[in-house]
Structure 1
Amino acid sequence: MDESSSASDKTVSDDTQALKDSAFRLLTRREHSRFELRQKLVKKGWSSAAVAELLDWLKAEGWQSDERFAESFVRDKLMQGQGRLKIVAQATQQRGIARELVEAVLEQQQPDWRSRCRAAHQKKFGDSAPEDRKQWAKRVRYLQQKGFNGDEIFAVLGELER
């Protein structure tokens, strides 16, 4: 009876270690949000309960942090030239980060959205003003897809028309 329970404990211990190893492999490549890590581990076939327990342990030990992930994510998206709306949408909808956390990180970064919008426009279209309504609409759509709001877009296009 002792032999079977110790063998069972060893199997549980081996499974726990294998789950930890899997999580660490993911975390060594890049930061992950709790939501992402949960999805990836469950997709690999680990039980939701075991994953939840491991995620709590990883957070308590400082191996996984949504705050650290949000900082890294926002920094990467800013470097890619994306606007506030797209950054917030991707972080909350695809990565499972709380909107308040993303907003706090953006506030901390204090990007100048208008100059970023101007830079995105210039990179794609140069310094010339749109020649007609069709070209103007194309530029608006492009900047909206990059995640800039209407005020920023219209200000940049207005500057070009002057």
Structure 2
Amino acid sequence: MIISRLLKKGNNVIIFFEDNSKIKIDYEVAAKSGLRSNDDLSDELREKLLEQDLRIRVRNGAFNYLGRRHHSFFELRKKLSAKGYDKEVIDETLNGLKDKGYIDDEDFAKRYIEEAVLRKKSGTNKIIAGLYQKGISREIINRAMNSFDNDAEMTQNAFEIAKKKLISLKNRDIEKNKLKTKLFSFLSGKGYSSDIIKKVLSNLDLNQEEEY
């Protein structure tokens, strides 16, 4: 198939053929191929260029997501699959990035836990559920949780948000005998374990008044 002309458009190159057909490939692929106008592009080479283009697009897509924030292997696979890329190429590309250290589920899990505890003030159960949703294995979750000494931090977080919730409940004139039940449900919904919740409620003054 004879190439009539090549047109660079952004990061891509459009290759036009004499039969009025065309293909679009990444500039990096086009540059390495050394193709020029009037070259005869065989079907075999055409398919090879399109395969190289696909691999670069998948790689660049993965780097684009990683540039925004850390992602788990599962998250990247899901997002790239949603774009319609070949699943085999996705897995090969992501495994290559994993081998090079660009994707690290254990590091991701540790960062996720730290942010969840320190910024979002989430409890253990909610954190574990969140990591499962990100495709992190139980083994990695256990190691990551064990590496983060968070009991004291979580208890303090639970106590602080319980105090704020207590003020809100009192402003709504919730009956005193229902306060503990409401607070227990609230903290449970935040992912805190029953042990931490009981500890917090035993130290919480249900008679406290809002300070001005």
Give your verdict on TM over 0.5: yes
Aligned to 1:47: 86
Q: Look up the SS of the partner of 1:147 in the other structure.
A: coil
Q: Distance in 1 between matches of 2:86 and 2:49?
A: 18
The superposition leaves residues 42-73 of structure 1 with CA deviations (integer Å, 9 ceiling, x where unpaired) of 01101111111111111011111101211111
Q: Distance in 2 between matches of 1:143 and 1:38?
A: 33
5+ long unaligned stretches in structure 2 = 1-39, 207-212
Q: Look up the SS of the partner of 2:164 in the other structure.
A: helix
Amino acid aligned to 2:125: L
Aligned to 1:141: 185
What pairs with 1:15-54 in structure 2 (closer than 5 Å)? 15-54=54-93
Q: Distance in 1 between matches of 2:165 and 2:61?
A: 41
Between the two proteins, the alignment pairs up a number of residues equal to 160
Aligned to 2:134: 95
TM-score, L = length of structure 1 = 0.89
Aligned to 2:16: none
CA-CA distance at 1:37 after TM superposition: 0.7
Change (3 A) 1:106 1:119: farther
Equivalent of residue 123 in structure 1, options 164, 167, 184 = 164
Amino acid aligned to 1:135: L
Equivalent of residue 114 in structure 1, options 149, 155, 162 = 155
Higher strand share: 2
CA-CA distance at 1:106 after TM superposition: 2.0
Greater RCO (Cα-Cα under 8 Å, separation 6 or more): 1
Aligned to 1:104: 143
CA-CA distance at 1:119 after TM superposition: 2.1
CA-CA distance at 1:161 after TM superposition: 5.0
Between structure 1 and structure 2, the one with the greater Rg is 2
Q: Distance in 1 between matches of 2:165 and 2:76?
A: 35
Higher helix share: 1
Q: Distance in 2 between matches of 1:107 and 1:101?
A: 10
Q: Look up the SS of the partner of 2:42 in the other structure.
A: helix
Amino acid aligned to 1:87: I
Q: Does the aligned pair in 1 maintain the 2:122–2:190 contact within 8 Å? A: yes
CA-CA distance at 1:138 after TM superposition: 0.9
Change (3 A) 1:151 1:121: same
Q: Distance in 2 between matches of 1:131 and 1:156?
A: 19
RMSD of the alignment, in Å? 2.2
- 2:115 is aligned with 1:76: yes
Q: Does the aligned pair in 1 maintain the 2:163–2:204 contact within 8 Å? A: no
Q: Distance in 2 between matches of 1:114 and 1:18?
A: 46
Q: Does the aligned pair in 2 maintain the 1:33–1:96 contact within 8 Å? A: yes
TM-score, L = length of structure 2 = 0.69
CA-CA distance at 1:131 after TM superposition: 5.6
CA-CA distance at 1:125 after TM superposition: 2.5
Q: Distance in 2 between matches of 1:161 and 1:29?
A: 43
